[in-house]
């Protein structure tokens, strides 16, 4: 059949339709804090061919309720289990919170451009996480630690609202105990017998032991926190093309067709969610863009 198409791409077979959710089952649901929980999933077929890079996300579909983009928070070196950590913020995440082991969940993905873990080899790496932002960064941390010898100093700076909101506590303790990883945690507001740092996470940057001239920084958290963190890192001497942020916008399709996730000229679903700071710096200053 002749065509008047100016380009003739090969036909996408229906089974690879990116809008079709693949069947997964809940292995376990773990409550992390009062409003945050982790889902561990496995494919219904039992055989996992899923692989992802740190920073990527999936679209998770709760049957009959809806679909949301959630960053993958598990270990890319252990792909048999698919792990997502999310806050309960709306209808769909509320429905997901009610899931029991062996319940069905639809998965589309992985989507997006991830953290520059391999590109950072040879440099110090500073990870700055705010609140739930620790979840999309955890896979990067796993991958960095699995290839530890390729990096200089490794620093994790983590800030959250109160001590009760600290995510992955047990793992944080384990990481804190390592000699090849520096972990600093702070809370905005202290409670009870908290004897750690109090103050916003940016206050940890000045003191953190890394060489700003040879550092790659990965930052994730609420947008305003990332904006001020990037500025503080820049003030400390980290080059703007060595700072990476993970952005978030409304998403419906995750494949660049629905138009919802646009941020200036970028589609967060495919050009991001991880962006190099210098490329989006002017946009971050524009309100309601």
Give the footprint of other proteins on residues 79-98 (CB under 8 A): 87, 89-90
Q: Which is nearer to other proteins, 120 or 204 (CB)?
A: 204
3-class secondary structure, 58:
strand
Between CA 162 and CA 61 the distance in angstroms is 31
Smallest distance, other proteins to C-beta of residue 265, A: 4
Residue from 140, 134, 157 nearest 230 by CA: 157
Q: Interface with other proteins by CB under 8 A: which range of 46-54, 70-78, 174-182, 224-232?
A: 224-232
Please identify, using beta-carbon distances, which residue of 147 and 289 lies nearer to other proteins.
289
Cβ distance to other proteins smaller for residue 143 or 232: 232
Name which of 150, 145, 146, 147 is nearest 127 in CA terms. Answer: 145
Per CB under 8 A, contacts with other proteins among 260-289 are 260, 262, 264-265, 267, 270, 286-289
| Region binding other proteins by CB under 8 A among candidate stretches 46-54, 119-127, 146-154, 182-190 | 182-190
Name the strand (E) or helix (H) holding 25. Answer: strand 22-31
Give the pairing of strands 82-87 and 66-71: unpaired
How far apart are CB 113 and other proteins at their closest, in Å?
11
- Looking at 26, 29, 145, 198, which residue binds other proteins (CB under 8 A)? 198
Quick check: 174 and 186 in contact, CB under 8 A? no
Q: Using CB under 8 A, which residues numbered 105 to 134 contact other proteins?
A: 106, 130-132
Of 49 and 288, CB closest to other proteins: 288
To which H or E segment does residue 277 belong?
helix 277-284
The CA angle 234-240-244, to the nearest 5 degrees, is 100
Q: Which stretch binds other proteins (CB under 8 A): 76-84, 148-156, 174-182, 251-259?
A: 251-259
| Residue of 30, 63, 164, 213 interacting with other proteins (CB under 8 A) | 63
Nearest CB to other proteins, comparing residues 147 and 224: 224
Q: Is position 18 an interface residue for other proteins (rule: CB under 8 A)?
A: yes
What's the alpha-carbon Rg for the chain, to the nearest Å? 20
* Residue placing its CB nearer to other proteins in the complex, 28 or 145: 28
Task: Report helix, strand and coil shares of the chain as percent, to nearest 5.
Answer: 25, 30, 45
The residue from 258, 276, 278, 281 that contacts other proteins (CB under 8 A) is 258
Q: Which of residues 139-158 bind other proteins (CB under 8 A)?
A: none
Using left for φ > 0, alpha for ψ between -120 and 50, and beta otherwise, residue 199 falls in left
Which long-range contacts does 144-149 make (Cβ < 8 Å, 24+ apart)? 144/117, 144/120, 145/178, 145/181, 146/77, 147/121, 148/180
Least distance from C-beta 149 to other proteins, angstroms? 28
Tell me: does residue 206 bind other proteins (CB under 8 A). yes
CB of residue 91 to other proteins, shortest distance in Å: 10
Assigned token pair, 164: 């009760």
Of 70-78, 147-155, 186-194, 211-219, the segment contacting other proteins by CB under 8 A is 186-194
The residues with which 168 forms a beta bridge, in sequence order, are none
């Amino acid at each position: 059949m002749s065509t008047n198409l100016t380009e003739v791409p090969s036909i996408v077979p229906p089974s690879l339709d990116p809008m079709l959710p693949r069947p997964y089952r809940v292995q376990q649901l773990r409550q992390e804090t009062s409003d945050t929980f982790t889902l561990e999933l496995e494919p219904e077929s039992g055989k996992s061919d899923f692989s992802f890079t740190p920073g990527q996300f999936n679209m998770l579909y709760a049957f009959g309720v809806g679909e949301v983009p959630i960053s993958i928070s598990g270990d890319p070196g252990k792909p048999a289990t698919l792990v997502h950590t999310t806050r309960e913020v709306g209808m769909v995440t509320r429905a997901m919170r009610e899931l029991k082991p062996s319940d069905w969940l639809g998965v589309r993905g992985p989507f997006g451009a991830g953290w520059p873990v391999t590109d950072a080899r040879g440099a110090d790496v500073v990870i700055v996480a705010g609140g739930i932002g620790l979840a999309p960064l955890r896979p990067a941390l796993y991958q960095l630690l699995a290839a530890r010898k390729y990096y200089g100093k490794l620093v994790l700076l983590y800030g959250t609202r109160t001590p009760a909101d600290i995510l992955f506590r047990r793992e944080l303790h384990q990481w804190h105990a390592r000699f090849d990883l520096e972990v600093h945690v702070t809370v905005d507001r202290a409670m009870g017998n908290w004897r750690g740092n109090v103050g916003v996470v940016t206050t940890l940057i000045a003191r953190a032991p890394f060489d700003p001239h040879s550092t790659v920084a990965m930052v994730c958290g609420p947008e305003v926190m990332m904006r001020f963190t990037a500025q503080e890192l820049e003030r400390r001497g980290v080059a703007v093309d060595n700072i990476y942020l993970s952005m978030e916008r409304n998403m419906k399709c995750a494949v660049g067709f629905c138009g919802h996730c646009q941020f200036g000229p970028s589609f967060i679903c495919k050009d991001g969610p991880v962006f190099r700071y210098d490329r989006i710096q002017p946009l971050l200053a524009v309100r309601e863009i």
